Amino acid sequence: MTVVDGSSSSSAGNFKSKTTAYVVVCWIFAAMGGLMFGYDIGISGGVSAMDDFLVKFFPNVYARKLTVHEDNYCKYDDQMLQLFTSSLYLAALVASFGASKACTILGRRPTIRLASVFFIVAALISALAPNKILLILGRILFGIGVGFGNESVPLFLSEVAPPHHRGAVNILFQLFVTIGILIANLVNFAVANVHPFGWRIALGVAGVPGLFLCIGSFVIMETPSSLIERGYETEGRQALQKVRGMDDVERELEYIKHACEQAKKVKQPFKKLMQRESVPPLTIAIWIQIFQQFTGINAIMFYAPVLFQTMGFRNDGALLSAVITGIVNVLSTFVSIVAVDKLGRRKLLLQACVQMLICLVGSGVILQLHLKSVGTLDSKLATIVVVLVCLFVMSFAWSWGPMGWLIPSEVFPLETRTAGFAFAVSTNMLLTFIIAQAFLSMLCHMRAGIFFFFAAWVVVMGVFVFFLLPETKGIAIDEMADRVWKVHPVWKRFMPKEGKGAEMT
């Protein structure tokens, strides 16, 4: 058991805490929510490529697949196929707003439990689906589960983490996302030749992370902020003592209580979000998610096997390359767990922009010069592209991947936190939907230019981070307004002059 002091210099920033075994168990159980999201990202591409699945639900797509035109960049362009992958994210988009209400009214823990229940039911329905209607119902329920899980889990983690380890604890969510993607890739690989129901196994296994999360939701405790916000002050104090592993939590408790008093004054958080002082966190939360998706990561996560086949890899080589990128994704996330609270968010994001830019431009140039509509890349060039794709995934995994969830979960004051975070989740879902739905068509029309398209976005996001993203490492989640927004050269203009800081110090 270690006692760790907050390293921040403000009086409110150095709340003390001990990391107890129970607290670590809570972090890990809650982070299981990431497994569900990751499994879904990884599984649908593989399932929609399985012939048995296509014959049963999309016979036209299957017929077309047998007679596809030969153009390298266009052979997988099919709206129906893409809709199977993307529909889940539309459901998640809508669900995240309901989840925000559930988080505020019921608390974080029941919302996490609801997410797991949706997921288990979705897995059962999908695995047993006798027809397209039930298959789609399964997708929608998966989506609702993802919406509820992605809203509640990162918030839970940020609220129970000690300020000086908040980045690392929150990134456990992303770590489980990457593990979920990898497990899905492996499951796809394993069941691809189980005829005729390999796809049923693949969809049904999604219930397993749901089950873990459901069990976890009985083990974890409610967050102190959520308890106090809902009027359970004694329980809130006890919960804080439990998460901090010590009795003396008075100073932090005062801060949370103050944040809750402010929160109670706000009857309509969504309306409050439209006010001037919410512009800084809302802008950051929404754009960080837009940028996360415009790195192009999901072109790789959803369609890596297709992309590698486009370059001329045979089927198993392409699946194997997808597993390799999955492993790189998991391992590189550890880098950010270690670095995020030391180096800070900004440095990781900026470094990644440079690395991603080099990889995207490099791959684009190779494909532009050497991959024509017919024929394949020669094996040396194909290997270079795979290496570039791995380096790209690596940099995403220690930066935009985890920060996309961490930063929006820590920048809002309590009164708008769940509502503001719902915007971040739904933005992520909307952009994920768009990329899932459009990527194969974009590849067909833009060809190698798609790499330059994402490269241009990487430049824009680097400029955004450099000028507009404040550093939030080590700052207590309920003192962001005073220590971040009110001192930032651009964002301070949006903040009221008198505030909490003056009263509290």
Instruction: Give the nearer residue to ligand BGC in terms of CB position, either 72 or 329.
Output: 329
Strand (E) or helix (H) holding 9? none
Q: Assess 307 for contact with ligand BGC (CB under 6 A).
A: no
Count of residues engaged in binding ligand BGC, rule: CB under 6 A: 14
* Among positions 145, 224, 404, 413, the unique one binding ligand BGC when judged by CB under 6 A: 404
Phi-psi region of 101 (alpha: psi -120 to 50; beta: other; left: phi over 0): alpha
Q: Assess 330 for contact with ligand BGC (CB under 6 A).
A: no
Query: Residue 32 in 3-state DSSP?
Result: helix
Q: Assess 298 for contact with ligand BGC (CB under 6 A).
A: yes
Sole residue written with tokens 């497990």: 183
Which window, 74-82, 173-181, 350-358, 371-379, contacts ligand BGC (CB under 6 A)?
173-181
Minimum distance of ligand BGC from residue 235's CB (angstroms): 32
Minimum distance of ligand BGC from residue 424's CB (angstroms): 10
* Parallel/antiparallel/unpaired status of strands 2-4 and 17-19: antiparallel
Backbone angles phi, psi at 368, to 5 degrees: -60, -45
Cβ–Cβ < 8 Å for 181, 396: no
Minimum distance of ligand BGC from residue 132's CB (angstroms): 26
Q: Assess 409 for contact with ligand BGC (CB under 6 A).
A: no
Sole residue written with tokens 């790189």: 328
Q: Assess 185 for contact with ligand BGC (CB under 6 A).
A: no
Q: Assess 472 for contact with ligand BGC (CB under 6 A).
A: no
Which window, 290-298, 316-324, 370-378, 439-447, contacts ligand BGC (CB under 6 A)?
290-298
Cβ–Cβ < 8 Å for 322, 306: no
d(C-alpha 191, C-alpha 46), whole Å: 10
Backbone angles phi, psi at 17, to 5 degrees: -160, 155
Q: Assess 177 for contact with ligand BGC (CB under 6 A).
A: yes
Token reading at 215: 């069990």
Instruction: Give the nearer residue to ligand BGC in terms of CB position, either 42 or 362.
Output: 42
Instruction: Give the nearer residue to ligand BGC in terms of CB position, either 174 or 437.
Output: 174
DSSP conformational letter for 221: P
Site for ligand BGC in 413-432 (CB under 6 A): 428, 432
Cβ–Cβ < 8 Å for 286, 423: yes
d(C-alpha 473, C-alpha 407), whole Å: 10
Apex 283 CA angle, 278 and 284, nearest 5:
110
Minimum distance of ligand BGC from residue 306's CB (angstroms): 15
Q: Assess 295 for contact with ligand BGC (CB under 6 A).
A: no
Token reading at 324: 């390799």
Which window, 158-166, 176-184, 220-228, 461-469, contacts ligand BGC (CB under 6 A)?
176-184
Minimum distance of ligand BGC from residue 403's CB (angstroms): 9
Sole residue written with tokens 């997921």: 119
The two most distant CA atoms of the chain are separated, in Å, by: 72
Site for ligand BGC in 24-63 (CB under 6 A): 41
Which window, 155-163, 170-178, 189-197, 312-320, contacts ligand BGC (CB under 6 A)?
170-178
Instruction: Give the nearer residue to ligand BGC in terms of CB position, either 14 or 289.
Output: 289
Instruction: Give the nearer residue to ligand BGC in terms of CB position, either 76 or 294.
Output: 294
Minimum distance of ligand BGC from residue 206's CB (angstroms): 16
d(C-alpha 12, C-alpha 476), whole Å: 7
Rg for the chain, CA atoms, rounded: 23
Q: Assess 297 for contact with ligand BGC (CB under 6 A).
A: yes
Q: What's the half-sphere exposure (Cβ side, CA atoms, 13 Å) at 338?
A: 5
* Among positions 290, 301, 335, 339, the unique one binding ligand BGC when judged by CB under 6 A: 301
Going by C-alpha positions, the residue among 176, 204, 114 that lies closest to residue 151 is 114
Which window, 84-92, 94-102, 130-138, 177-185, contacts ligand BGC (CB under 6 A)?
177-185
State the residues that interact with ligand BGC by CB under 6 A. Answer: 41, 174, 177-178, 181, 292, 297-298, 301, 329, 401, 404, 428, 432
